Amino acid sequence: MQVDYKTLLRKQQEYLDTALMIEAQVVCQVDGGLFDDNTYYLCVTEERNGIKRYYIIRDDREADDTLILEGDTLTIYGRLFGDCKIPAKLIETRPTVPALSMLYYDLTE
């Protein structure tokens, strides 16, 4: 299911654990914190009017260990697990963005 970006942020409780699909470009890889072994990707989509929409994607793939690189454009299939504020070292404005668990993906480029 594809859900509008603002809807994911405004009505988050309605979409928690809902199967979602987004197409986004990987900006950078971010490792989890001290007690978090997960790998995260900061991803971005750009709308027709030039507005950038950011997502945090947690890599929860089980069988696929294909390396994901910065600049890759992916169709991501996963589930919404919340939102998070992007650290200032990644983006100056520190927006709150949807956080998705990536179960699998297709490389679109």
Which percentage of the chain shows pLDDT scores above 70? 92
pLDDT at 88: 65
Higher pLDDT, 10 or 36: 10
Burial of 16 (0-12, 13-18, 19+ CB in 10 A): exposed
Residue-wise DSSP of 26-61: EEEEEE--TT---EEEEEEEE-TTS-EEEEEEEE--
Contacts of 29 (CB under 8 A, 6+ apart): 39, 40, 41, 42, 68, 70
Confidence of residue 7 (pLDDT cuts 50, 70, 90): very high
* Residues 100 and 78 sit within 8 Å (Cβ to Cβ): yes
Q: With 0.85 as the threshold, say if the pTM is over it.
A: yes
